């Protein structure tokens, strides 16, 4: 089905009617206000914008929005927002034309011919993939976001126009059905608002959050807004006292500054109430103050003066001037205890920093006096977009890619230091593995340990703000699947998954070849003796280009080895039952991800085993007597493969033991000592007291090489006087 990509009122869902056109579209008062706002552009550029408006109006003529307004009102509003940032003429023209390729018959070549290739590329980057068929709305959303992100990395104006487009859509959703309003608002909270925040567009970031909040939870937003208005009145005198006190202290210190009061956004108050389980009356720092100074030294002097006026809250001071946020944000943050014990936050920064704090990358166009800084911020932002695109290398799955990006948009950050003093920003809760991949993929793929503040720490231990972290690597080290449950950055998650998939792919190729050889031997044929023509037929029918690809499909469970074997022979008698017993597949246990050992029965060398190939998982090994597969074996006996162990075990295997002991002092220590002295590693232990005061059952998970070594261990444990009973837990007591 053709599912449109998501989410704009500017899609085919807009109502198309043949309505009379305006006598003169340029008579619209909104159009005149828009043209007047272009006074920063040369006259020739303004003439091009006028032409673009007329072109867009003709293209959309006869279309109206769900609200009943002429469709041209939407691109005009988006272009107006872009003009507020004083973007160049190409950006303004692209904003006016951003929907013509998607909703009209106008093509990219026509736009390029009339307005230039850069404008055509911008409009193309903003257009959705509505000609491609997707299986679901989620897949369409993810693939469209991938396309948009690629365009953003090429030209930052794409994201600014897209954000202005989304902002206007959220403002004009009264006519949209409630379900769709909520879906678009949730997408905005998950993707577009965090992008605005990451780009430093803090004013737009807060507005997108508040609009989305009001669309998802209209009643909650209404009640909270009413409570905020009431609190504003109740606290007016207190806030005035604090404001006058700050101004007076700065004046006494000879610091020239502007002091502004500010109010937390509705959504940020809501999130704080939700995250900390507070009522509105318990959220004390609803109001704050911003101090704008002339230069950086004045900012630090102002900080000292205010700390002398009111006591600071320990641990609440943040210096984003010395260590700016990745989006270029710079400010000093401190929380002070005001009159009556009321805490309030103060942000101290220069006027130029405030411009960047409000408009982020858009300040490059808006504030010419900070152009050099804005250009540097643009370079950093472009680099960040390219790092997001790098996440694609680990997957062809658009939904997985979108998941990685959402992880990377996590708003709360910590700052850690490398041994050379480089500062790296990571999401809160990040691990040393996240840092390793942030530095370089090879370091992440080969990290084995971490020194945090000169002390050894596990790779998956959470880092904290200000940590000095040194990553230790080894040439033979490789990523672990267990890392996926602890890493926080999209980059680390993507790289680990990419490695595991490539390893599984290679291991599955080897397994598939062994499984096909097994089937061919059962049919009395040696694989190496097959003619090339036999493989040509199989490759033609399967759509694979290489024999290796067929092996991989077999190992991953996407093709049955028996079917491929008979197709290779292409003989009538090959399809008939053979008297030869099927050969068993021999495994060593070191095949890696291509062979998985079922957690229900935990087979170990020496156990009679059987296997089944599952799509995408490879070969899963169970013991013959595993209860978990009893029904499946009887229902589909042909799905199961006889498997044998190689004589020499290739690795250690986990196995569970149940040990019932008498409740005596030191029993656990003696058992653990006996296990360790036998050369066996304890992976996990816990206990349950089934007969209070008499017996305790200990649950051990240990690593053994084979069934024989397990038997020796169990015999040695039985000799301990406190041990009443010991059994192997294979999930057979269901």
What's the pLDDT tens digit per position in 220-239? 999 998 888 887 777 777 78
Mean pLDDT of 596-601: 82
Report residue 213's pLDDT band, with 50, 70 and 90 as the boundaries: very high
Report residue 384's pLDDT band, with 50, 70 and 90 as the boundaries: low
Question: In this model, does residue 129 exceed pLDDT 60?
Answer: no
Comparing 722 with 531, which gets the higher pLDDT? 722
Instruction: Give Dmax over CA atoms of the chain in angstroms.
Output: 103
Report the distance separating Cα 56 and Cα 257, nearest Å. Answer: 46
Report residue 20's pLDDT band, with 50, 70 and 90 as the boundaries: very low
pLDDT of residue 370: 47
pLDDT of residue 575: 40
Per residue in 685-725, pLDDT (tens digit) is: 887 766 666 888 888 888 888 888 889 899 999 989 889 88
Mean pLDDT of 621-627: 85
- Quick check: helix, strand or coil at residue 585? strand
- Which CATH code of 1.10.3210.10, 3.40.50.150, 1.20.120.1200, 1.10.1740.10 fits the domain covering 25-176? 1.10.3210.10
Question: In this model, does residue 607 exceed pLDDT 80?
Answer: yes
Least confident of 34-48, 67-81, 241-255, 612-626: 612-626
102, 139, 155, 517: the active-site residue? 102
Report residue 53's pLDDT band, with 50, 70 and 90 as the boundaries: very high
Question: In this model, does residue 19 exceed pLDDT 50?
Answer: no
Q: Is 527 left (phi over 0), alpha (psi -120 to 50) or beta?
A: alpha
pLDDT of residue 142: 62
Q: Is-catalytic flag, 517? A: no
pLDDT of residue 164: 92
Number of other residues whose CB lies within 10 A of the CB of residue 416: 22
Question: In this model, does residue 619 exceed pLDDT 90?
Answer: no
Report the distance separating Cα 472 and Cα 466, nearest Å. Answer: 19
Give the position of tokens 């937390």.
264
CATH number of 222-368: 3.30.460.10
Question: In this model, does residue 58 exceed pLDDT 50?
Answer: yes
Give the position of tokens 């900012």.
299
Residue spans of the domains in the chain: they are 25-176, 222-368, 384-486, 498-645, 653-729
Range 193-196 contact pairs with CB under 8 angstroms and sequence separation of 24 or more: 194/406, 194/409, 194/410, 194/411, 195/159, 195/163, 195/409, 196/163, 196/360
pLDDT of residue 304: 93
pLDDT of residue 215: 93
pLDDT of residue 251: 92
Per residue in 243-260, pLDDT (tens digit) is: 899 999 999 999 999 998
The residue among 351, 280, 664, 35 whose CA lies nearest residue 359 is 351
Range 415-420 contact pairs with CB under 8 angstroms and sequence separation of 24 or more: 415/323, 415/465, 415/466, 416/463, 416/465, 416/466, 416/467, 416/468, 416/469, 417/466, 417/467, 417/468, 417/469, 418/468, 418/469, 418/470, 419/468, 419/470
Whether this prediction's pTM lies above 0.85 is answered by: no
Q: Is-catalytic flag, 155? A: no
| Token pair for 699 | 């649950």
Question: In this model, does residue 75 exceed pLDDT 80?
Answer: yes
613 close to 595: Cβ distance less than 8 angstroms? no
Report the distance separating Cα 734 and Cα 725, nearest Å. Answer: 19
CATH 3.10.20.30 at 384-486, yes or no: yes
Question: In this model, does residue 593 exceed pLDDT 70?
Answer: no
19 close to 68: Cβ distance less than 8 angstroms? no
Question: In this model, does residue 300 exceed pLDDT 90?
Answer: yes
103, 165, 467, 591: the active-site residue? 103
CATH 3.30.70.260 at 653-729, yes or no: yes
Report the distance separating Cα 665 and Cα 50, nearest Å. Answer: 90
The residue among 626, 621, 628, 679 whose CA lies nearest residue 645 is 621
Average model confidence (pLDDT) across the chain: 79
């Amino acid at each position: 089905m053709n599912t449109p990509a998501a989410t704009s009122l500017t899609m085919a869902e807009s109502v198309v009617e043949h309505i009379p056109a305006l006598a003169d579209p340029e008579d619209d008062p909104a159009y005149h206000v828009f043209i007047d706002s272009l006074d920063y552009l040369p006259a020739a550029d303004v003439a091009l914008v006028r032409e673009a408006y007329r072109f867009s109006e003709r293209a959309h003529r006869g279309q109206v929005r769900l609200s009943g307004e002429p469709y041209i009102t939407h691109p005009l509003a988006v272009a107006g927002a872009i003009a507020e940032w004083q973007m160049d003429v190409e950006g303004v023209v692209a904003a006016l034309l951003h929907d013509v390729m998607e909703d009209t018959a106008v093509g990219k070549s026509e736009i390029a011919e009339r307005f230039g290739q850069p404008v055509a590329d911008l409009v193309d980057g903003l257009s959705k993939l509505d000609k491609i068929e997707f299986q679901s709305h989620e897949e369409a959303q993810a693939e469209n976001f991938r396309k948009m992100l690629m365009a953003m990395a090429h030209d930052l104006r794409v994201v600014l126009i897209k954000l202005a487009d989304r902002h206007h859509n959220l403002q004009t959703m009264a006519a949209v059905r409630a379900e769709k309003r909520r879906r678009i608002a949730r997408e905005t909270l998950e993707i577009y608002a965090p992008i605005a925040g990451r780009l430093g567009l803090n004013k737009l970031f807060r507005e997108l959050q508040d609009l989305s909040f009001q669309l998802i939870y209209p009643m909650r937003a209404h009640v909270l807004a009413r409570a905020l208005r009431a609190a504003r009145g109740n606290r007016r005198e207190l806030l005035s006292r604090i404001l006058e006190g700050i101004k007076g202290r700065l004046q006494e210190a000879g610091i020239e500054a502007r002091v502004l009061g500010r109010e937390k956004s509705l959504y940020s108050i809501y999130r704080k109430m939700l995250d900390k389980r507070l009522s509105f009356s318990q959220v004390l720092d609803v109001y704050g103050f911003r101090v704008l100074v002339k230069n950086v030294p004045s900012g630090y002097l102002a900080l000292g003066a205010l700390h002398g006026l009111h006591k600071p809250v320990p641990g609440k001071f943040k210096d984003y001037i010395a260590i700016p946020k990745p989006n270029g944000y710079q400010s000093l943050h401190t929380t002070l205890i005001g009159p009556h014990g009321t805490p309030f936050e103060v942000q101290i920064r220069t006027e130029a920093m405030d411009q960047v704090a409000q408009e982020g990358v858009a300040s490059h166009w808006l504030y010419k006096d900070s152009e050099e800084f804005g250009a540097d911020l643009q370079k950093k932002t472009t680099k960040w977009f390219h790092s997001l695109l790098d996440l694609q290398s680990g997957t062809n799955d658009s939904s997985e890619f979108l998941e990685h990006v959402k992880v990377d948009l996590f708003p709360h950050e910590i700052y850690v230091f490398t041994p050379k003093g480089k500062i790296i920003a990571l999401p809160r809760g990040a691990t040393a593995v996240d840092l390793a991949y942030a530095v370089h993929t090879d370091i992440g793929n080969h990290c084995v340990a971490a020194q945090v503040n000169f002390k050894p720490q596990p790779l998956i231990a959470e880092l904290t703000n200000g940590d000095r972290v040194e990553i230790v690597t080894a040439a033979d080290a490789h990523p672990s699947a267990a890392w996926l449950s602890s890493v926080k950055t999209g980059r680390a998650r993507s790289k680990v998954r990419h490695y595991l998939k490539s390893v599984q792919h290679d291991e599955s190729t080897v397994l598939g070849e062994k499984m096909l050889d097994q089937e061919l031997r059962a049919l009395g044929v040696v694989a190496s003796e097959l003619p090339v023509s036999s493989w040509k037929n199989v490759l033609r029918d399967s759509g694979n280009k290489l024999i290796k690809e067929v092996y991989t499909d077999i190992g991953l469970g996407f093709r049955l080895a028996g079917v491929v074997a008979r197709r290779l022979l292409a003989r009538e008698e090959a399809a008939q039952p053979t008297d030869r017993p099927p050969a068993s597949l021999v495994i060593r246990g070191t095949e890696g991800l291509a062979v998985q050992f079922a957690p229900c029965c935990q087979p170990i060398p020496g156990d009679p085993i059987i296997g089944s190939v599952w799509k995408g998982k490879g070969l899963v090994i169970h013991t013959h007597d595993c209860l978990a597969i009893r029904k499946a074996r009887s229902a589909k006996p042909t799905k199961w493969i006889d498997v044998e162990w190689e004589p020499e075990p290739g690795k250690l295997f986990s196995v569970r033991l149940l040990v019932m002991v008498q409740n005596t002092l030191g029993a656990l220590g003696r058992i653990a000592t006996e296990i360790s002295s036998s050369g066996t590693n304890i992976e996990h232990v816990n206990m349950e007291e089934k007969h209070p005061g008499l017996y305790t059952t200990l649950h051990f998970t240990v690593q053994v090489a084979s069934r024989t070594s397990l038997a020796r261990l169990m015999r040695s444990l039985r000799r301990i006087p406190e041990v009443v009973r010991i059994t192997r837990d294979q999930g057979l007591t269901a």
